Chain A
Amino acid sequence: KQEVTQIPAALSVPEGENLVLNCSFTDSAIYNLQWFRQDPGKGLTSLLLIQSSQREQTSGRLNASLDKSSGRSTLYIAASQPGDSATYLCAVGTGANSKLTFGKGITLSVRP
């Protein structure tokens, strides 16, 4: 059974800092991996999708990497801003038509 872990559960950083959010998964036979953002009381917004054949994806100040062999992904946020404050969830897909398994998320607070 696939398990996805995100540690720590919460993180507080000063504005402008570059930071890395970690995600680990137990079964390396994945189809893809997604990072989502969730604002309080809102749904999830997909940030980056990495297919199993890819090593990384970039969107603006965000960069996500994938290392299947070690069962890890990282989300790098450059020059963090208070608007980046949210919960970031990692989700692993194990097939084209199978469910996503989510981590419990990392709640990020960026202090002005």
Chain B
Amino acid sequence: DAGVIQSPRHEVTEMGQEVTLRCKPISGHNSLFWYRQTMMRGLELLIYFNNNVPIDDSGMPEDRFSAKMPNASFSTLKIQPSEPRDSAVYFCASSLEGVGYGYTFGSGTRLTVV
């Protein structure tokens, strides 16, 4: 298995633009997590899905952020409009049966909003 695949690896965009981050989880994993990592705040969970259904989105910072999981093999995290404070590394992770069985992380998308 190729692991959790995220795209793009790097994204530079101007403030106000829409940004879409993509994730393909490991085949057979039924939980998917989006995290954001910054120097100040470390790793924060934004949202997670179980069997394609959003379970906990309490970490989504505000209405500018939205996430979807239309099927078991694909998820998107969208920011519209983007702001400089959204600059961070965004990680996607997947697991089987939620947190009880460990996570596999993708390589992340480094987002810079100028």
Partner-B contacts on A (CB < 8 A): 31-32, 34, 36, 42-46, 49, 51, 89, 91, 93, 95-100, 102-105
Contacts and interface: CB of A to CB of B under 8 A. Distances in A.
B25 interface: no
A34 B103 contact: yes
B33 A99 contact: yes
A34 B42 contact: no
B99 to A, nearest CB: 4
Pick the 7 closest A-B CB pairs, nearest first: A43-B105, A93-B99, A102-B43, A104-B42, A99-B45, A97-B98, A44-B105
B108 A32 contact: no
A23 to B, nearest CB: 13
A49 B108 contact: no
Contact of A44 (B48, B98, B103): B103
Contacts of A31: 99-100
B42 A93 contact: no
Instruction: Give the contact-size bracket for chain B.
Output: 20 to 34
Nearest to B40: A104
B99 A43 contact: no
A46 B99 contact: no
B50 interface: yes
Given A93-B99, A97-B98, 12 more contacts: A43-B91, A43-B106, A43-B108, A44-B93, A44-B103, A46-B103, A46-B104, A91-B43, A96-B100, A97-B55, A99-B56, A102-B44
Contacts of B97: 96
Nearest to B6: A43
